[in-house]
Structure 1
Amino acid sequence: MIIGIPKEIKNNENRVSCTPAGVFALCKAGHKVIVEANAGIGSGFSNEEYQEAGAEIADVKEVFKRAELIVKVKEYLPSEYQYLREDQMVFTYLHIANDPEFAKALIDSKTTAIAYETVRDRKGGLPLLTPMSEVAGRMAVQVGATMLQKNNNGRGLLLGGVPGVFPAEVVIIGGGTVGLNAAKIACGLGAIVTVFDINAERMGYIDDISGGTIHTAYNNEYNLRRALKTADLVIGAVLVPGAKAPKIVTKDMVQTMKPGSAIVDVAIDQGGCIETSDHITTHDQPTFERYGVLHYSVANMPGAVPRTSTMALSNATLPYLMKLADHGTAALKADPGFLLGLNTYQGHITYRGVSEALGMAYTDPETLL
């Protein structure tokens, strides 16, 4: 199969979908890989490294024109919609539940689109979302700590405090991969950390592994309202795979927060779980203020640490990419968890969460493949 790896064009998106090591494995398996010139530069991988691994270097038009399978990191931007076509597969983070324009482009073009974020493993986990969730969770604390600095219009707090001075209070909404990784970093820096969740088993797990240093609380409106009044940093980490994130923190809750406190809405690529995170920001202009509270809502957070992120992502996606290259859509039929990654096919929406979020008809993929 001919596999195309284009350069990402989203604002400050320096990741690339496959490392030279991944390209080497694909070429050794008998596939042809075409990499757009300088696609890996932002992650520290040169054109020469890709060529040594067996890839051909080409311009963007050649990559999209010749490839049977396009492998990306982020969703297509409007300028890339022209490249979508019926006889091509796309494998990337789609996030179309929150992007009706892109969803329409995929449907109209009848492109076979497989989303990293909805693929499941045999245990029901999200193997292709997990590595980037780990990065985003850890980054959220770094970002939040910087936002709290006075020179950034924050409260002027050191997250972990110093002897004789109370540390900052960090509230994390959601105890999944993002939330747990954020909690580990915040706790390691010495902050007072509380994770809100609705899963008692998950809260018990967090309590056990942290030895009680990470506090947990049941996520209901009463508890959350009380916690937000004293919180210095709030991290939104709520995920509904393939669907829009629910608005857990309302506008009036934000209005009760302290001036100069900070919110990092990691769920923004799925619409955000904070009501006042009303638009996506970029790495160039990452923050804005609502009711005296600083907000960060960058949708491609791991793009700021591209070398780490690229290697982690490629490690996770390569086994699935190899299956697609070897067997095409038959690879989806053979693996129910992989089939859940299929979001659009032949003009149909084939993932239920996406259809519900967009208010469009759902088609069972098993009736189409």
Structure 2
Amino acid sequence: MKIGIPKEMKSKEYRVGMIPSGVRLLVESGHDVYIQKNAGEKSGFPNSEYKQAGAVILEDSKEIFENCEMIVKVKEPLPEEYDLLKSGQILFTFLHLAPNKKLTEILLEKKVTAIGYETVEDNGRLPLLSPMSQIAGRVAPMVASYFLSMHNKGMGTLIGGSTGILPSKVLVIGSGTVAKNATKIASGMGADVIVMGRNPHSMKSIEESMSANVSTLYSNAYNMEKVLPLVDIVICAVYVTGEKTPQLITKKMLSYCKKGAVLVDVAIDQGGCIETSRPTTHDDPVFEVDGVLHYCVANIPGDYPLTATQALSNATIPYIKKMADMGWKNACLKDEAIYSGVNVAGGFVTDEAVANAHKMDYHMLKDILYHCTEFGDTL
């Protein structure tokens, strides 16, 4: 199979879809790998390392898309890449289609087989989302602390307090991977942390594994309204596989927040869990609504590429190799994790959450695969 890795186009996105060790594994298995010139440079991998691993370096993304059967990226295609997509092409990347109807329509129109890292599920785990969730969770308290400073229009409090001065209070909404990592870092920085979730097993695990400055609280609107006036930082860490994130903090609730408080909406990729959130970039990460700062960068790990690229690529390469070796259809039939990751195929929405989000028809992937096998059709 011909596999292509284009350079990411999203603002301040420094990650790359594959590292040289992954290239070498694929080439040794008989596949051809093409990578755009300088795509891995900011992740610490120069062109020479990719060449040594067996990749062919191409000048621009157009050549990558034209030549390759599978495109491996980090972030979803941007509008300037839409015309490069080809019918029958496999796209393996973070998609986050539930809040992005336009991209969903393009993938349907182009009849691309689009497999989202964030929906690949293996025995209840999300193995491709998890490493990026760890990083985003660990970064969230650090950026929140930075924007809490007065020169950033925050309230001017130090997250860990000082001698004789109480530390900041941090609210973490959610109890999954992002939440656990955000709690670990925020509590380590000395903050008093409240974790608000609905999964009693996850919250119990957090209580048992974290320090004494961490407590848990059941998540509902009543408790949210009681807690928001007390906290300096809110980290939104909610994710429901493939679905648009529920809005747990309404615009009205902003009136309960302290002026200069910082809200970090890590869930912004899936639409965000704050009503007033909108995606921002590393160039302009923060905006203010009713005196409350919102940090809504949609690619937080992209600013830490030497760590994030390796973590992501190490997780994705086994799935890439399996699809390259077997073809994506056979891989889906053999591997439920890959099957679960297919959002769109052959002009059909095959992820129920995406179909519901956009009020589109949903088609079970197994029916499409059966149709192709039975009648010799191709996707």
Match of 2:356 in 1: 356
Residue 108 of structure 2 is aligned to residue 107 of structure 1: yes
Question: Any idea what the Cα deviations from partners look like across 1:314-341, whole Å, max 9, x if unmatched?
Answer: 0110111111111112101111222010
Within-5 A mapping of 1:132-281: 132-277=132-277, 279-281=278-280
Partner letter of residue 16 of structure 1?
V
Partner letter of residue 62 of structure 1?
E
Question: Any idea what the Cα deviations from partners look like across 1:333-353, whole Å, max 9, x if unmatched?
Answer: 111222010000100000011
Match of 1:92 in 2: 93
SS in 2 for 1:98: coil
Q: Please identify, of 124-133 and 78-87, the stretch whose mean Cα deviation from structure 2 is larger.
A: 78-87
C-alpha contact (below 8 Å) 2:187/2:211 kept by paired residues: no
Give the TM-score of the pair, scaled to structure 1. 0.98
SS in 1 for 2:98: helix
Partner letter of residue 86 of structure 1?
S
Question: Any idea what the Cα deviations from partners look like across 1:99-124, whole Å, max 9, x if unmatched?
Answer: 11100000000001110000011x21
Partner letter of residue 290 of structure 2?
Y
Structure 1: tracts of 5 or more residues without a match = none
Structure 2: tracts of 5 or more residues without a match = 370-379
- Superposition CA RMSD, Å: 0.8
Measured after TM superposition, the shift of residue 212 of structure 1 is 4.1
Question: Any idea what the Cα deviations from partners look like across 1:167-225, whole Å, max 9, x if unmatched?
Answer: 00000000100011000000001000010001111111111111543210000111111
Partner letter of residue 141 of structure 2?
V
Match of 1:346 in 2: 346
Partner letter of residue 120 of structure 1?
E
Question: Any idea what the Cα deviations from partners look like across 1:248-290, whole Å, max 9, x if unmatched?
Answer: 011111111111110000000100001111x211100000000
Equivalent pairs counted in the alignment come to 367
C-alpha contact (below 8 Å) 1:7/1:16 kept by paired residues: yes
SS in 2 for 1:96: coil
SS in 2 for 1:366: helix
C-alpha contact (below 8 Å) 2:34/2:58 kept by paired residues: yes
C-alpha contact (below 8 Å) 2:88/2:346 kept by paired residues: no
**Distance (whole Å) between structure 2 residues aligned to residue 283 and residue 291 of structure 1:** 22
Partner letter of residue 93 of structure 1?
F
**Distance (whole Å) between structure 2 residues aligned to residue 20 and residue 252 of structure 1:** 49
**Distance (whole Å) between structure 1 residues aligned to residue 287 and residue 343 of structure 2:** 33
**Distance (whole Å) between structure 2 residues aligned to residue 86 and residue 333 of structure 1:** 21
SS in 2 for 1:4: strand
SS in 1 for 2:363: coil
Match of 1:305 in 2: 304
C-alpha contact (below 8 Å) 1:84/1:111 kept by paired residues: yes
**Distance (whole Å) between structure 2 residues aligned to residue 189 and residue 261 of structure 1:** 17
Question: Any idea what the Cα deviations from partners look like across 1:131-172, whole Å, max 9, x if unmatched?
Answer: 000010011111100010111111111111112110000000
C-alpha contact (below 8 Å) 1:193/1:214 kept by paired residues: yes
Question: Any idea what the Cα deviations from partners look like across 1:212-247, whole Å, max 9, x if unmatched?
Answer: 432100001111111101110000111111110000
**Distance (whole Å) between structure 2 residues aligned to residue 212 and residue 300 of structure 1:** 31
Match of 2:81 in 1: 80
Partner letter of residue 84 of structure 1?
L
Measured after TM superposition, the shift of residue 312 of structure 1 is 0.4
Residue 48 of structure 2 is aligned to residue 43 of structure 1: no
Give the TM-score of the pair, scaled to structure 2. 0.96
**Distance (whole Å) between structure 2 residues aligned to residue 314 and residue 230 of structure 1:** 40
Match of 1:282 in 2: 281
Residue 57 of structure 2 is aligned to residue 57 of structure 1: yes
Percent identical: 49
**Distance (whole Å) between structure 1 residues aligned to residue 41 and residue 255 of structure 2:** 43
Partner letter of residue 176 of structure 1?
G
Partner letter of residue 57 of structure 2?
I
**Distance (whole Å) between structure 2 residues aligned to residue 337 and residue 18 of structure 1:** 20
SS in 2 for 1:340: helix
Residue 317 of structure 2 is aligned to residue 314 of structure 1: no
**Distance (whole Å) between structure 2 residues aligned to residue 280 and residue 323 of structure 1:** 34
C-alpha contact (below 8 Å) 1:207/1:213 kept by paired residues: no
C-alpha contact (below 8 Å) 1:2/1:66 kept by paired residues: yes
